[in-house]
Structure 1
Amino acid sequence: MATNVSDQMLARLHEWGVRRVFGYPGDGINGLMGAFDRMGERMRFVQARHEELAAFMACAHAKFTGEVGVCMATSGPGAIHLLNGLYDAKADHQPVLAIVGQAARAAMGGDYQQEVDLASLFKDVAHEYVHTAMVPAQIRHLVDRAMRIARDQRTVTCLIVPHDVQELEAVEKPPREHGTVHSGIGMTGKRVLPPEADLRAAADVLNAGRKVAILAGAGALHATDELVDIAELLGAGVAKALLGKMAVPDDLPFVTGAIGLLGTQPSWHMMSECDTLLMVGSSFPYSEFLPKEGQARGVQIDLDGRKLGMRYPMEINLVGDSRLTLQALIPLLERKDDRSWQDDIAGKVRKWWEVLETRAMNEARPINPQRVFWELSPRLPGDCILTCDSGTSAAWYARDLKVRRGMMGSLSGGLATMGPAVPYALAAKMAYPERPVIALLGDGAMQMLGINGLVTIAHHWKEWPDPRLVVMVLDNSDLNMVTWEQRVSAGERKFDDSQVLPEFPYADYARSLGLHGVRVDDPARVGQAWDEALRADRPVLLQMITDANVPPLPPHVSAKQAKDFAKALVHGDPEATAVVIATAKEWWDGVFAGKDHRG
């Protein structure tokens, strides 16, 4: 039996299957910290270095396990620090519960120290459910509803617990009287399928298409076999939104890879030329990379009906689980005898991999960042988990890594925030301590949050049966993606005051924590460094000294982008000469890769 409200909260979370809570302590949640102590090994409080890290870890736990991720913070500033990681979870539709402290009830409304209007603060990010516990009789149904709604709606929920309420005597069963709520735990999954008539209408559209393009997103991660079967039936190609990178393996000839600003030329060509679009579990936002309106007939599948018909005017919109819906569609589809469309896609994909290899091996000052990812790709362990940060690291992650079945991976998709790669990796390693985990990020994100995350890695790694956790930092002393956006999108030269990062000895710092650190400034040593990191007996920090002037070229450069780029260089960009040379190499390789054009 729980002794007080805090004990009851944790016990109820345990009944829901929660075994790990990410957070940072403070006097606003001292009651809950005492309850964790009394819980012992039944539930672990994972101390992050910062509340933002804790929220990212909760989001990653949800992404990699399918369970509700739980994070916790003290009142006032601690609660505020959670917000960015919680918005990451909201944007990527992940079930996360945030539990935050609050001033004592008697002090609320009195401008007390650290008193913040938390209900208003969290109302946007946790709009489906945010409530304050005022009496012990609420605790059971507050926890039950917060967990159930987070899981059912795949969203963020929040419970606010005033300091004094945490210490009150628990009420295990609310009194059976008017004005009380009696809830229970447990939930079964929803089997959501569109009506038969809608499935047949979708099949008619897909069967009529001669050039079918499939776009898979995060909602299709569990539908790999079905996506492959439909692509083979329809002679289609498959492009992937960034969060859907693991939906289908890249070693299939008709998989065109990423789409969008970080996408591939085959994906661009496929969308430009298709006559039918099947979008599965994706909210991909950039309409300019989809077919022109009126060019293609469209079918979209999404579990959330609010997301249908939002990115492209679809002819048929199906509300349903992607795997179940595709399974129901397959018997209605006709196998296409004409394979010319798919063969053309496969040819472009083969050429594209040659382009990527050629670009990766271009000389740079000193290391080409594409080579770092290209050399990693064939070395990826079959059961690895990949995490990536926002920035140019996401571009190379999207393009240069050829993922295979059995791998997992994620990054911040909808919010595209900096900072999640290391906390994502930590949460993945805690959920799957027997699997190798690789975090890929730039020096900006590493200085923002990653350095602190290394402290937590150093604290926990000896608990893991497989100690392999590799943190790879692209060290180019530049906030690189924004630098390129300044040039290409705004027509402005690189602004050193905002873009140049201070030097930091990442590998030395890792060694000071008892981890392994490797600094690489020779392109010939990139592959060897990956081999060393992936067989190390402890976590490794790989500090890759890379060239900031290698451009993450989009698959299609518009006239406006070209004009703005030229304008930035003419206006005295400090790296103008190096940028022109590097960009010329990228363009040349895109045209002539695979040919003996270097003499």
Structure 2
Amino acid sequence: MASQNVAEYLLDRLTEWDVETVFGYPGDGINGIVTALGAGKGPKFVQARHEEMSAFEAVGYAKFTGRVGVCMATSGPGAIHLLNGLYDAKLDHVPVVAIVGHAARTSLGGSYQQEVDLPTLFKDVASDYVQMVTVPEQLPNVLDRALRIAQARRAPTAVIIPSDVQELEYSAPTHAMKMVPSSLGTSWPSMAPDPAAVHRAADLLNAGEKVAILIGHGARHAAAEVQEVAELLGAGVAKALLGKDSLPDTLPYVTGSIGLLGTRPSYEMMRDCDTLLTIGSSFPYTQFMPEEGQARGVQIDLDATMIGLRYPYEVNLVADAGEALRALIPLLERKEDRGWREDLEDKVSRWWQTMRDEALVDADPVNPLLVFSEFSERMPADAIVAADSGSAANWYARQLRFPPGVRGSLSGNLATMGPGVPYGIGAKFGNPGRPVIVFEGDGAMQMNGLAELITVSRYWREWEDPRLVVVVLHNNDLNQVTWELRAFSGSPTVPMTQALPEVGYADFASSLGLGGITVDTPDALGAAWDEALGATRPTVLDVRTDPNVPPIPPHATLEQAMNAAKSAIKGDPNAWDFIKEGLKTKVQELLPGHRS
């Protein structure tokens, strides 16, 4: 057998781990790896336009496949650029491995060009595991551990390989002192709950009369069990933002999202319940949960480090969600009084009608809610939906009604701008036979999305289903920050910071050979959606939306309303427009169907 160098062994080892795709950007710090890729070694290399985008693509791939995402960058600035995407993975508990080049060992400590202390740089973001490979015999152990720990901890890990080490002849660890052999593969256990704790949880839930269930992403693989528990307990089910695809919105007792971007039924259920069951969620905004002392609580989570958070639960079960619920179900008593459930279902039904009515409110030129409402009515059954941070996240959370089988995600806890399009690219490489839809604000599109359309134009012909629809909410305003200024600070909008330059997003897409559709009237929106979802190539849907349609929470506080009024008094140039649109939108909750 011909000898291998370290870079070639690295790529072969990734292949043995069934890593199919690596997202990255080249540079001389990974020249050895790039050369091995050029010789046909290893997984498919997808070249992003920027290292941050390659990290986001790895996160999107991991979120929408359940597998480890892998990204790669050169030393110095390339490694630094990975950080935002890796923090996105860290905060949303997503398994990603970063493979990073480094300055040659002979130059370390010599203030050489692009020398950055990478172990220290990655120490926080990859706190579960970061290691530098300095000799060939070290590599299999370090790489295998990085992959296993990323999966086990659902976290980013980092493997740093100096450029000269990549060129060394590979030599396996020997049977000797201070050598660490390694092996492939992992068989993961199902974590069963403590039986005594399950009985305590059942007793608590059986005693409740108004049971609320809160689920997150950790409940997605236990959807059938969550439904059975909800039916037995006569409970409603609210969903944290990252758990939006954990249970279909088409179930009549699913109250939808919770929190600032949440629904009125979720808010009122938490306000009025006497019992709370939280499954696979670390939802952080405790002001949207029951007040302390109002409700008794049970939490189920696989991660012991996240158990017992946010609320004074009486029973904290560390277990796989499905395992815990299957143990719990035989002990639960069906609640014969269905008044609580029936009231919740009535509120949910009225909520979805209100959402449609709000979407139909006149705006100048297109109501952004209508963009999402029209898509909800046309959503493919196997769609994957990504939303960027900003106002797109508001409407994603509240307006989209997911049927069974649809996947969706966004940057939940970091809430960083710009991951939407790279998430979509990662989703397409992980699921090439499924349609992907990305919702972008024009700020995020200008920040990252435009450049990554070039990546889309390069690779889309490789996808079994070519549909990747990027929807741009085109209002020339950093709209989420504008509304935060109004609602939280009582400040008028500041055009020098909020206004965006005019860009023809559909025209840019067309210049790359992609589809481009411009919509500037509400009547054209439905046909535009039909065209985009039926297209034979990726398409940008450029919709001119009204920046003055407010993202009013269904439970807006008096303080927020007063702050918005203060911003008008202080001279917000769009004061009358946003007051008018806010009144027209809010009246749909008070007088459903009233659009005059």
TM-score (normalizing by structure 1): 0.98
Give how far 1:38 is off.
2.2
Alpha-carbon offset, residue 39 of structure 1: 3.2
How much does 1:112 deviate? 0.4
- Amino acid in structure 2 at the alignment position of 1:361: L
The equivalent residue for 1:573 is 572
Q: Which residue of 2 aligns with 1:3?
A: 4
CA RMSD of aligned residues (A): 1.0
In the other structure, the counterpart of 1:188 is: 187
**What amino acid is the match of 1:342?**
R
Task: Show the counterpart of 2:27.
Answer: 26
**1:458 is paired with a residue of what secondary structure?**
helix
| SS of equivalent residue, structure 2 residue 408 | strand
Gaps of 5+ in 1: none
Q: Aligned partners of 2:463 and 2:187: how far apart in 1?
A: 32
Q: Which residue of 2 aligns with 1:245?
A: 244
Paired letter, 1:4: N
* Distance across 2 between alignment mates of 1:540 and 1:424: 16
Cα distance in 1 between the residues matched to 2:529 and 2:134:
54
SS in structure 2 of the partner of residue 569 of structure 1:
helix
What do the CA deviations read for 1:59-86 (whole angstroms, capped 9, x no partner)?
A: 1111111111100000000000000000
Matched-pair contact (CA < 8 Å) for 2:105–2:162: yes
SS in 1 for 2:496: helix
Distance in 2 separating the partners of 1:326 and 1:87: 31
Once residues 543 and 233 of structure 1 are traced to their aligned partners in structure 2, the CA distance between those partners, rounded to angstroms, is: 46
Contact 2:361 / 2:595 at 8 angstroms: preserved in 1? no
Partner of 1:428: 427
Which residue is 1:591 aligned to?
590
User: Within 1, Cα distance between the matches of 2:556 and 2:544?
Assistant: 28
Amino acid of the structure 2 residue aligned with 1:30 = N
How far apart, in 2, do the equivalents of 1:340 and 1:445 lie?
Answer: 45
Distance in 2, Cα, partners of 1:44 & 1:27:
19
Cα deviation for residue 432 of structure 1 reads 1.2
| Residues 14 and 43 in structure 2, CA contact (< 8 A), matched pair in contact too | no
Distance 1:344 1:458 in 2: 50
3-state SS in 2 of match to 1:100: strand
Tell me the distance in 1 between the aligned counterparts of 2:321 and 2:40: 39
Q: Which amino acid aligns with 2:25?
A: Y
Shift of 1:14: 1.1
Counterpart residue number, 1:339: 338
Which amino acid is 1:537 matched to? T
1:529-540 pair list within 5 angstroms:
529-540=528-539
Q: What secondary structure does 1:489 align onto? A: helix
Matched residue type, 1:280: I
State the SS of the aligned residue for 1:251: coil
How many percent of aligned residue pairs carry the same amino acid? 57
Letter in structure 2 aligned against 1:208: A
Decide which moves more: 212-221 or 560-569: 560-569
Q: Which amino acid aligns with 1:74?
A: T
Question: Is the aligned partner of 1:384 residue 2:383?
Answer: yes
Which SS does the other structure have where 2:518 is aligned? strand
Q: Which amino acid aligns with 1:100?
A: V
Q: Aligned equivalents of 2:474 and 2:282: distance in 1?
A: 32
Deviations 1:373-430 (A, max 9, x none): 0000010110111111111111111111110111111111111111111001111111
AA aligned opposite 1:39: G
Distance 1:38 1:206 in 2: 60
Structural mapping, 1:322-361, within 5 Å: 322-361=321-360
User: In structure 1, what residue type is equivalent to 2:162?
Assistant: P
Q: In 2, distance between residues paired with 1:550 and 1:243?
A: 25
Indicate the SS of the match to 2:45. strand
Q: 2:170 is matched with which residue?
A: 170
| Alpha-carbon distance in structure 2 between the residues aligned to 1:555 and 1:180 | 61
Report the counterpart of residue 74 of structure 2 in structure 1: 74
2:13 is matched with: 12
Displacement, 1:562? 1.9
Native 8 Å contact 2:193 2:323 kept in 1: no
Residue 105 (structure 1) aligned with residue 84 (structure 2): no
Matched, 1:35 2:13: no
CA distance in 1 between partners of 2:252 and 2:416 (Å): 32
Q: Distance in 2 between matches of 1:75 and 1:506?
A: 33
Hey, what's the Cα distance between the residues in 1 that align with 2:326 and 2:394? 32
**1:550-573 C-alpha deviation (Å, 9 max, x unpaired):** 011112122221221111111000
**For residues 149 and 220 of structure 2, what CA distance do their matches in structure 1 show?**
22
CA distance in 1 between partners of 2:63 and 2:202 (Å): 31
Which residue is 2:477 aligned to?
A: 478
**2:281 corresponds to which residue?**
282
- Whole-angstrom CA distance in 2 between matches of 1:357 and 1:557: 19
> For 2:536 and 2:10, how far apart are their aligned partners in 1?
39
CA distance in 2, matches of 1:590, 1:572: 28
SS in 2 for 1:79: helix
Measured against aligned partners, the alpha-carbon deviations of 1:338-358 in whole angstroms (never above 9, x if no partner) come to 100000000111111111111
* CA distance in 1 between partners of 2:535 and 2:142 (Å): 46
Q: Tell me, in whole angstroms, the C-alpha distance in 1 between the residues paired with 2:302 and 2:413.
A: 17
Deviations 1:101-133 (A, max 9, x none): 111001000000000000010000000111111
**What code does the residue aligned with 1:20 have?**
T
Q: Bigger shift: 583-592 or 124-133?
A: 583-592
1:250-299 CA distance string (max 9 Å, x none): 11110100000100000000000000001111111111110011100000
With 204-213 and 305-314 compared, the bigger mean Cα shift is at: 305-314
Q: Find the aligned partners of 1:342 and 1:309 in 2 and give their Cα distance.
A: 27
**1:147 matched to which residue of 2?**
147
In the TM superposition, what is the alpha-carbon distance from 1:598 to its structure 2 partner? 5.2
Cα offset, 1:465, TM superposition: 2.0
Q: Distance in 2 between matches of 1:94 and 1:135?
A: 29
Amino acid at match of 2:117: D
* Cα drift, residue 471 of structure 1: 0.5
Q: What secondary structure, in the 3-state scheme, does the structure 1 residue paired with 2:221 have?
A: coil
Distance 2:9 2:319 in 1: 37
Shift of 1:190: 2.2
Show the counterpart of 1:399: 398
CA-to-partner distance for each residue in 1:30-65, whole Å, 9 max, x for gaps? 00001112235x511110010011000111111111
Per-residue CA distance 1:521-545 (angstroms, 9 max, x = gap) = 0100111100000111111000000
CA distance in 2, matches of 1:183, 1:465: 37
Tell me how far apart the structure 1 counterparts of residues 557 and 504 of structure 2 sit (CA, whole Å): 39
Are the aligned partners of 2:32 and 2:167 in contact in 1 as well (CA < 8 Å)? yes
| Paired residue type of 2:38 | D
Which ranges in structure 2 are unaligned for 5 or more consecutive residues? Answer: none
2:550 aligned partner, one-letter code: P
Q: Distance in 1 between matches of 2:487 and 2:129?
A: 41
What amino acid is aligned across from residue 523 of structure 1 in structure 2?
P
Confirm or deny: 8 A CA contact 2:65 2:431 kept in the other structure.
no
Instruction: Summarize deviations over 1:156-184 as a string: whole Å, max 9, x none.
Output: 1101110100000001x212111110111
Q: Distance in 2 between matches of 1:80 and 1:251?
A: 43
Q: How does 1:231-242 map to 2 (within 5 A)?
A: 231-242=230-241
Mapped to 2, the partners of 1:399 and 1:135 lie a distance apart of 52
Distance 2:44 2:66 in 1: 19
- Separation in 1, partners of 2:565, 2:291: 28
